[in-house]
Structure 1
Amino acid sequence: MSPNQAPSLPQTAPQAPAGIAAVRLSGLRKEFGPVTAVDGVDLEIVEGEFFSMLGPSGSGKTTVLRLIAGFEQPTAGSVDLGGRDVTRLAPFQRDVNTVFQDYALFPHLNVRQNVEYGLRVKRVPRAERRQRAQEALRTVRLEDFGSRKPSQLSGGQRQRVALARALVNRPKVLLLDEPLGALDLKLRHAMQAELKQIQRDVGITFVFVTHDQDEALTMSDRIAVFNAGRVEQVGTPVEVYEHPASAFVAGFVGTSNLLSGRGAEAVIGRSGVYSIRPEKIRLDPDLSRPAAPGEVSATGTVTDTFYAGATVRYVVSLDAGGQLSVVRQNSEPAPELADGRVRLAWRHEHNFRIPEDKEHTDA
């Protein structure tokens, strides 16, 4: 292999982990008049998995969640829960519960009564529903808040009450439709850790819908990335981030550089489209310093600098053509960029080639 040649990486479709399928979607399609919202989705979600469906608005992820819950009927395809075909069953006939972004707590009921409500509808005896409600509140660490009204709770506490209300029914699958979307950033980060811990404690399958890439990467066992009604890639957070299956995934999940055309040929030594994550690139103001063995090197000019607290992002226009973003931690000494000229370097293995048939996937 020549020094400018990127190593070839095997392109294999990630397989679902071993285990019983809690949710299996086969050829799922949903049309709303002339609009196809879901276009031939096949997914298998294993029991006990924290599985996220990630994508931009209009990508079909929420519609898939509603198809699993039974709130929508598919135009084609099937939904299996625990090996049982539930495609034509009503929502109350499916062993799932849903937590929405709007928690929809009853303001006139206290916390315990809100959690008990579903059990009352099912005519569960009073003593049993009290016990189960208290267990659910203990799971979300609100066992001492049962007598409070929703108006007396913080946003994070109301979110946990909604979660307890869903868990008290002991569903096999819990569906969560962007439940953290209404929270401020600091509370959102705190609740991500809480929600993941709760999922580990109760051990049931969570299917989580989000458009937040960091949220999906932080919380998930596996992620399905949606685009235009289809699944672009399914894999662990590491697989999806480090080895994107398409240009869309590379650009949507985290921040990525795409190098193609003459720029790719000049810098990498091969044609095609390559993804290089900005944190993998080293920025050096000394243009005379040679690249280390096993590195790719390119020169360019810094055209923009963005300060983001913990990091600084540099946008560099390459002499060979194309543009790359570079992220530097603020713990590192700031480089002196008198004339903006820099040399960029990164390891060969951090060039990831986008598969040929998915290079031009529309975002």
Structure 2
Amino acid sequence: MIEESREVSPPAQRLAVGLRGVRKIFGDVVAVDGVDLDIRDGEFFAMLGPSGSGKTTVLRLIAGFESPTAGTIHLGGDEVSKRPPFERDVNTVFQDYALFPHMNVIANVEYGLKVKRVSKAQRRERAVEALRTVRLEGFEARKPGQLSGGQRQRVALARALVNRPKVLLLDEPLGALDQKLREEMQVELKAIQRQVGITFLFVTHDQEEALTMSDRVAVFNAGRIEQVGTPAEVYERPASAFVAGFVGTSNLIQGEAAESVLGRTGIYSVRPEKIRVDTHLNAEVPVGEHAAAGTVAEVVYAGAATRFVVDLDAGGRLIALQQNLQTSSMDVLKLRDARVRLAWRREHEFAIREDVPPGLVMDGPPTTVG
């Protein structure tokens, strides 16, 4: 049945958003530099990158708040590059929520429908349904000032959902929340997206947030996309030095250290949690593993896990992350300045592109970026 549906559905109908050769220039600044991107219908898609990487500009181009200098933007198969925002079937949720403080919750949610001249009865019915979706029944009469940060965020989400857009654009909507509430809202947002089935396009600079919530992630850097893939693909198999360093913490091994430890040239990535710390330096290295001896330069105890910074005999430095299953802070802190051997399975090291950005170029020894 799945194969049959694929045959009868042309690609344009399966895509919610399509960008082709999109560029945006502000004066002398190239904010977006030739982006090609396809976002599938019903997908929770994250655009991840540091400040100034171009992700928010791409969101604004899709929303219609900016016009592309070059390239085309498609929504549901229609080319919309020249259309104003109100003629695009999208809605945007901003970090500051942009709620009307003098209106109660139900009036805030109904506002967009009122502008569209939807009947009063239908407005109320759809607004109540939207509030039920975000689990805010009984809050209709409250003003935004009487709500918590998480509740205001859900009102903003309900106000966008009530318009039933094809694509919902979320511009770092969780940025103003504290860590605990932020984590709770990550789970809620994903559950809501699955419930309503709308395409969510989520902009964030938080790596954990992108990995937790999205079906796929696009990693932005300097106006371009470095890699697009599932969270597991982007994390486990970074395509470039930038992705390896920005998405989580990664050890990059190259130069003399790669030749000495791995027995080959090139640039390789090994995640800290894949590395095992062993105090038995002379133990036999198991088949299928690589190992490197070194000295513990620093030990960072973080409760659930400990972070070991190890200076290798081969030169350079690696970071290993070890869960504290049966150890205390005193146990692990004793390892500072100790001689250890780091070991990892060969399938956990991945070759990455050698076009390393200038800020990440390494001369010989491995280093840690992140």
* Fold shared by both chains (TM-score > 0.5): yes
- For 2:357 and 2:87, how far apart are their aligned partners in 1? 42
Higher helix share: 2
Residue in structure 2 matched with residue 233 of structure 1 by the alignment: 227
Residue in structure 1 matched with residue 204 of structure 2 by the alignment: 210
Alignment of structure 1 residues 156-167 onto 2, 5 Å: 156-167=150-161
Q: Is 1:310 the counterpart of 2:307 in the alignment?
A: no
Task: Judge conservation of contact 2:12–2:77 (CA < 8 Å) in 1.
Answer: no
Alignment of structure 1 residues 1-363 onto 2, 5 Å: 20-333=14-327, 334=331, 337=335, 339-356=337-354, 358-360=355-357, 362=359
Task: Judge conservation of contact 2:21–2:72 (CA < 8 Å) in 1.
Answer: yes
CA distance 1:165–1:316, shift in 2 (3 Å): same
SS at match of 2:194: helix
- Count of aligned pairs: 346
- For 2:212 and 2:13, how far apart are their aligned partners in 1? 23
Q: Which runs of 5+ in 1 are unaligned?
A: 1-16
Which letter maps to 1:35?
A: V
- For 1:50 and 1:302, how far apart are their aligned partners in 2? 41
Task: Judge conservation of contact 1:246–1:361 (CA < 8 Å) in 2.
Answer: no
Task: Judge conservation of contact 1:19–1:46 (CA < 8 Å) in 2.
Answer: no
Percent of matched pairs sharing the same residue = 71
Deviations 1:194-250 (A, max 9, x none): 000000000010000000000000000000000000000000001000100000000
Displacement after TM superposition at 1:307 (Å)? 1.8
- For 1:39 and 1:241, how far apart are their aligned partners in 2? 24
Task: Judge conservation of contact 2:24–2:31 (CA < 8 Å) in 1.
Answer: yes
Q: With the length of structure 1 as denominator, give the TM-score of the two structures.
A: 0.93
- For 2:337 and 2:141, how far apart are their aligned partners in 1? 65
- For 2:179 and 2:73, how far apart are their aligned partners in 1? 35
- For 2:181 and 2:341, how far apart are their aligned partners in 1? 40
- For 2:260 and 2:66, how far apart are their aligned partners in 1? 51
CA distance 1:361–1:176, shift in 2 (3 Å): farther
Which letter maps to 1:91?
A: P
Which letter maps to 1:176?
A: L
Task: Judge conservation of contact 1:247–1:361 (CA < 8 Å) in 2.
Answer: no
Which letter maps to 1:359?
A: V
Displacement after TM superposition at 1:359 (Å)? 3.4
Deviates more, 1:280-289 or 1:186-195: 280-289
SS at match of 1:183: coil
- For 1:231 and 1:25, how far apart are their aligned partners in 2? 12
Displacement after TM superposition at 1:289 (Å)? 1.5
CA distance 1:39–1:176, shift in 2 (3 Å): same
CA distance 1:18–1:298, shift in 2 (3 Å): farther
Deviations 1:275-309 (A, max 9, x none): 00000000011212221111101100010111222
CA distance 1:78–1:18, shift in 2 (3 Å): closer
Residue in structure 2 matched with residue 14 of structure 1 by the alignment: none
Deviations 1:25-64 (A, max 9, x none): 0000000000000000000000000000000000000000
- For 2:189 and 2:358, how far apart are their aligned partners in 1? 33
Task: Judge conservation of contact 2:298–2:336 (CA < 8 Å) in 1.
Answer: no
Task: Judge conservation of contact 1:273–1:359 (CA < 8 Å) in 2.
Answer: no
Deviations 1:283-341 (A, max 9, x none): 01121222111110110001011122211101000001121000011114345537511
- For 2:12 and 2:323, how far apart are their aligned partners in 1? 38
- For 1:332 and 1:53, how far apart are their aligned partners in 2? 38
Task: Judge conservation of contact 2:299–2:335 (CA < 8 Å) in 1.
Answer: no
- For 1:19 and 1:343, how far apart are their aligned partners in 2? 54
- For 2:244 and 2:271, how far apart are their aligned partners in 1? 9
Which letter maps to 2:15?
A: A
Task: Judge conservation of contact 2:305–2:323 (CA < 8 Å) in 1.
Answer: yes
Deviations 1:342-363 (A, max 9, x none): 011100111111123x334656
Task: Could you list the structure 1 runs, at least 4 aligned residues long, displaced by more than 2 angstroms after superposition.
Answer: 332-339, 358-363
Task: Judge conservation of contact 1:282–1:346 (CA < 8 Å) in 2.
Answer: yes
Task: Judge conservation of contact 2:13–2:77 (CA < 8 Å) in 1.
Answer: no
Q: With the length of structure 2 as denominator, give the TM-score of the two structures.
A: 0.91
Deviations 1:137-160 (A, max 9, x none): 000000211111111111000000
Residue in structure 2 matched with residue 11 of structure 1 by the alignment: none
Which letter maps to 2:356?
A: E
